């Protein structure tokens, strides 16, 4: 059985086709700049050359049609016909309080995703366009939805509520939801396997550090707290997002700089973080390189980024009264040995003993990077959100 995983954004559509019998990728790719006559298509069929094209793609249905054309193409394709796409799984950013697990798409599920537009105005409408595009072209193919927020629905009220008037929660559902749930769930399960210990018995802190970044405290396989909040702005300092700050700064900066709501939102989401402090880039590779060339602002940006991450790790160890394993994943977490070393060498008080050689090894493999006798294990686990979505879809479509 083949499962097509779709991640639809407002102007992009990423896809990966899996053969579930052996969980291999048949092809992956993306359509970018949807809505323009210069949309860019990148298609990577397994075992064949990459294919790129620039063409007019005006909406998500046209993008989906192009994806299916390429998947079944005599030269660039990987299957004979569209009938070999047996199910489709979609990544959905916000499942609110309704969805604590993945579900099959029904008209009620679609209504609920629409009701949640307010909480994720940039993401959920785009995901819906992806679902509707599949319905238009493959009307008989079953679809499932997998939510970034679902894994965090196990958080207790003391973690997910904000200490503000409760009417805001009751009326508007203002609370912590958390994001990157599919990734935190995947890497925590893999880490338990690598450690050869039952997930149920472990206290873990998983650090998903990419352009967006979040940390999760996982006890017995369940998320009990996470750093992102009602939106993905809270928590860690990120590439272009501020993360935590004094909320009084928002009205103060708006008044002093005469900013509109839209402008202050954009400032905190797109012009803050590493980018703002370094004045160079939001990309950790460029920050580390500039730091090595003695750029003081880049060093300060790195130190703030690392310090804020380390404080969260310490906080979550306190929240769980201990930690058995710390896991690093996503673009920065998987690749930046410099960041991992900076964090871990300051966690010796809690029993972290980094294996510096294993940490520095240029490898994209899952691996242990702490010493064999370290009371707290540290691991690098490359995330694979697409595979998780494919697995959930496969299970749901097969009645699981």
Give the residues lining the site for ligand ADP (CB under 6 A).
210-212, 239, 283-285, 330-332, 335-336
37 has catalytic annotation? no
Burial label, 262 (beta-carbon count in 10 A; 0-12, 13-18, 19+): exposed
Contact indicator for 34, 60 with CB cutoff of 8 Å: yes
Give the shortest CB-239-to-ligand ADP separation in angstroms. Answer: 5
- The nearest distance, CB 331 to ligand ADP, in angstroms, is 2
Minimum CB distance to ligand ADP smaller for 12 or for 211 = 211
Neighbours of 37 (CB within 10 A): 10
Catalytic residue among 37, 53, 140, 148: 148
We find the least distance from the C-beta atom of residue 212 to ligand ADP, in angstroms, to be: 4
Residue 257 near residue 267 (C-beta atoms within 8 A): no
CA-closest candidate to residue 133, choices 64, 70, 201, 71: 64
Strand pairing class (87-92; 143-147): parallel
Residues in the chain: 400
Which of 76, 90 has the CB closer to ligand ADP?
90
- In the bound state with ligand ADP, the residue whose beta carbon lies nearer, of 78 and 287, is 287
Q: Reduced to 3 DSSP states, what percent helix, strand and coil does the chain have, rounded to the nearest 5?
A: 40, 20, 35
Q: Closest distance between ligand ADP and the C-beta of residue 4, in Å?
A: 20
**Of residues 30 and 76, the one with the C-beta less far from ligand ADP:** 30
Q: Residue 327 and residue 376: Cα distance in Å, rounded?
A: 11
Q: Do the beta carbons of residue 13 and residue 27 sit within 8 Å?
A: no
CB-hemisphere CA count at 13 Å for 284? 24
Q: Which residue is nearest to ligand ADP (CB)?
A: 331
Residue 330 CB, shortest distance to ligand ADP, in Å, is 4
Nearer residue to ligand ADP within complex by CB, 77 or 382: 382
Active site residues: 148
């Amino acid at each position: 059985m083949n499962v097509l995983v779709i991640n639809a954004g407002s102007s992009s559509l990423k896809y990966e086709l899996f053969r579930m019998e052996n969980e291999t990728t048949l092809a992956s790719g993306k359509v970018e700049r949807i809505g323009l006559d210069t949309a860019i298509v990148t298609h990577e069929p397994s075992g064949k050359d990459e294919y790129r094209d620039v063409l007019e793609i005006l909406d998500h249905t046209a993008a989906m049609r192009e994806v299916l054309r390429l998947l079944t193409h005599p030269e660039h394709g990987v299957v004979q016909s569209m009938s070999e796409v047996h199910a489709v799984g979609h990544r959905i950013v916000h499942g609110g309080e309704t969805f604590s697990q993945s579900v099959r798409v029904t008209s009620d599920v679609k209504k609920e995703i629409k009701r949640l537009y307010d909480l994720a105005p940039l993401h959920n409408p785009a995901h819906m366009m992806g679902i509707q595009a599949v319905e238009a072209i493959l009307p008989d193919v079953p679809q499932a939805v997998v939510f970034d927020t679902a894994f965090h629905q196990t958080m207790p009220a003391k973690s997910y509520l904000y200490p503000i008037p409760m009417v805001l929660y009751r009326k508007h559902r203002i609370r912590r939801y958390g994001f990157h749930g599919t990734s935190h769930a995947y890497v925590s399960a893999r880490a338990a396997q690598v450690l050869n210990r039952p997930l149920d018995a472990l206290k873990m802190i998983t650090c998903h550090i990419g352009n967006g970044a979040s940390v999760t405290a996982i006890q017995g396989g369940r998320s009990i707290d996470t750093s992102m909040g009602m939106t993905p702005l809270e928590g860690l300092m990120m590439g272009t997002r501020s993360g935590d700050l004094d909320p009084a700064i928002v009205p103060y900066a708006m008044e002093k700089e005469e900013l509109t709501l839209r402008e202050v939102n954009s400032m905190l989401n797109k012009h803050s973080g590493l980018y703002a402090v370094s004045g160079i880039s939001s990309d950790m590779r460029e920050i580390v390189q500039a730091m090595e060339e003695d750029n003081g602002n880049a060093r300060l940006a790195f130190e703030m980024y690392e310090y804020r991450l380390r404080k969260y790790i310490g906080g979550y160890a306190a929240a769980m009264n201990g930690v058995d394993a710390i896991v690093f994943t996503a673009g920065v977490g998987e690749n930046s040995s410099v960041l991992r070393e900076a964090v871990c060498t300051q966690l010796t008080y809690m029993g972290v003993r980094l294996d510096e050689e294993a940490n520095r090894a240029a490898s994209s493999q899952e691996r242990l990077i702490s010493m064999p006798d370290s009371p707290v294990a540290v691991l690098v686990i490359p995330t694979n959100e697409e595979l998780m979505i494919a697995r959930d879809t496969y299970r749901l479509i097969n009645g699981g």
